[in-house]
Amino acid sequence: MVEAFLLIQCDMGTGASVTKEIRKVPGVVLVHYVTGPYDLVARVEAEDLGSLSKLVDEIQLVSGITRTMTCPILKG
């Protein structure tokens, strides 16, 4: 199992709709609004790095997302 934090920037005013859509994606464990250079932080999990890459690709297609940064978790 691979886990990661996904830092997400959104277009102005789209945070609520982006959060709602991201929560529907299988593999998304949680999503939080945050302050700072990113608007949302999501915790995601996948079987392996290939599956994680596909999951991130799916999330990046959500309307309103402008940028993401994936931070794989090395140790829990």
Q: Which fold has domain 2-72?
A: Alpha-Beta Plaits (3.30.70)
Write down the mean pLDDT value for the chain: 96
- 4 within 8 A of 71, measured Cβ to Cβ: yes
DSSP-derived secondary structure for the chain:
-EEEEEEEEE-TT-HHHHHHHHTTSTTEEEEEE--SS-SEEEEEEESSHHHHHHHHHHHHTSTTEEEEEEEE-S--
What strands lie across the sheet with 28-33, from one edge to the other? 28-33, 40-46, 2-10, 65-72
pLDDT tens track for 32-55: 999 999 999 999 999 999 999 999
pTM score, two decimals?
A: 0.92
